[in-house]
């Protein structure tokens, strides 16, 4: 396979090796011909440098992102006898068009150099969101040539589903409540999502810091209390992840109400299925909420809001007409 990985692999002794290929027998045999292996022990080990710590963090981050993606989400066949959680290393290498041996060395925290081009390919193969992409480049100490790129992994077929669901509001959301893509009626359901910067398109932030969004939610106090409790339950699996910590800090800094709810340490799983909105242009909407995972494992999910009565259906159709007539209305788009 012709790959992008024409990287010059530089071992710790400074002697340049040729481009890595997918057949790395020396690596598999454990000989000394490959780059120096990162320190096996965790941070704080005697003799470990800051560069060692950074490489180990990068290796752990890549493994965690690889293991969360299913073959189906990446457009690959699952096959039989799959024991690896998520994708295999060779599958990531194939998707990113890099050498298998080279990618394996990267996950082993070996002392190799990596270009911005290859990091960009890995970010897309691993479906990193904006915060995760920033973290990847920061760990590699490489400037991101496309800092506003988003690798959400929302496929064209999923975007087509969002379009076909109109006039029913629908979006794709990750476990951190980032809105990754949405159709036109969802984009105008609670506020004008198109007018918001990318970093603000998060349901937690909108619920606690956006007055227009909050005004459209009936029984808002009950709703935001439940959201804070569900966010705490979800965050238990992501305590060390920078994107989650950044979101939590922003919520605490910008919303006294969130700080008060967070201090209660309430935890609850998602149970609410009926949502009532007071849409500014068409009035009261009574909807039934459905969440569909986009793969076998927890990850991005498709959220739909279907009408609970004929009046709501008619009002959603009216909202669709208004959005379609608005020149600023656009097809389903990434967040």
Percentage of the residues of the chain whose pLDDT score is greater than 90: 49
Residue 46: its pLDDT value, please? 59
pLDDT digits (tens, 9 = 90+) for 143-196: 988 776 655 567 778 889 999 999 999 999 988 898 989 999 999 999 999 999
pLDDT digits (tens, 9 = 90+) for 295-325: 655 668 899 999 999 999 999 999 999 999 8
The whole-angstrom separation of Cα 118 and Cα 245 is 27
Residue 244: its pLDDT value, please? 85
**C-alpha triplet 295, 136, 231: angle, nearest 5°:** 50
What does residue 192 show for φ and ψ, rounded to 5 degrees?
-90, 95
The whole-angstrom separation of Cα 330 and Cα 199 is 19
pLDDT digits (tens, 9 = 90+) for 193-248: 999 988 899 999 999 999 999 999 999 999 999 999 999 988 887 777 777 888 99
The whole-angstrom separation of Cα 96 and Cα 100 is 10
Roughly what angle, to the nearest 10 degrees, separates helices 89-96 and 100-107?
120
Residue 30: its pLDDT value, please? 36
Residue 142: its pLDDT value, please? 92
Residue 106: its pLDDT value, please? 93
């Amino acid at each position: 396979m012709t790959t992008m990985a024409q990287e010059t692999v530089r071992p710790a002794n400074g002697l340049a090796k040729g481009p890595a290929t997918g057949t790395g027998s020396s690596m598999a045999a454990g000989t000394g011909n490959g780059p120096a292996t990162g320190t096996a022990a965790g941070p704080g080990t005697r003799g470990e440098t800051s560069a060692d710590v950074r490489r180990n963090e990068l290796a752990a981050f890549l493994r965690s992102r690889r293991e969360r993606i299913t073959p189906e989400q990446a457009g690959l066949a699952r096959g039989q006898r799959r024991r690896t959680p998520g994708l295999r290393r060779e599958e990531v290498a194939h998707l990113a068009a890099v050498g298998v041996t080279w990618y394996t060395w990267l996950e082993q925290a070996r002392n190799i150099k990596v270009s911005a081009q290859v990091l960009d390919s890995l970010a897309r193969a691993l479906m990193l969101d904006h915060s995760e992409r920033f973290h990847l480049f920061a760990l590699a100490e490489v400037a991101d040539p496309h800092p506003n790129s988003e690798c959400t992994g929302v496929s064209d077929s999923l975007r087509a589903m969002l379009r076909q669901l109109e006039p029913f509001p629908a979006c794709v959301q990750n476990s951190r409540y980032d809105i990754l893509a949405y159709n036109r009626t969802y984009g105008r359901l609670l506020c004008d999502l198109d007018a918001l910067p990318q970093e603000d398109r998060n349901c937690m932030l909108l619920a606690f810091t956006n007055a227009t969004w909050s005004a459209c939610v009936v029984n808002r106090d009950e709703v935001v209390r439940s959201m804070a409790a569900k966010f705490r339950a979800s965050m238990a699996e992501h305590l060390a992840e920078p994107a989650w910590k950044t979101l939590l800090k922003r919520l605490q800094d910008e919303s006294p109400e969130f700080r008060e709810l967070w201090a209660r340490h309430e935890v609850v799983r998602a149970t609410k299925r009926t949502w009532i909105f007071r849409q500014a242009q068409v009035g009261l909407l009574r909807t039934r909420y459905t969440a569909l995972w986009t793969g076998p494992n927890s990850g991005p999910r498709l959220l739909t809001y279907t009408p609970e009565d004929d009046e709501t259906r008619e009002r959603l159709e009216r909202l669709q007409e208004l959005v379609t007539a608005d020149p600023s209305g656009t097809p389903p788009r990434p967040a």
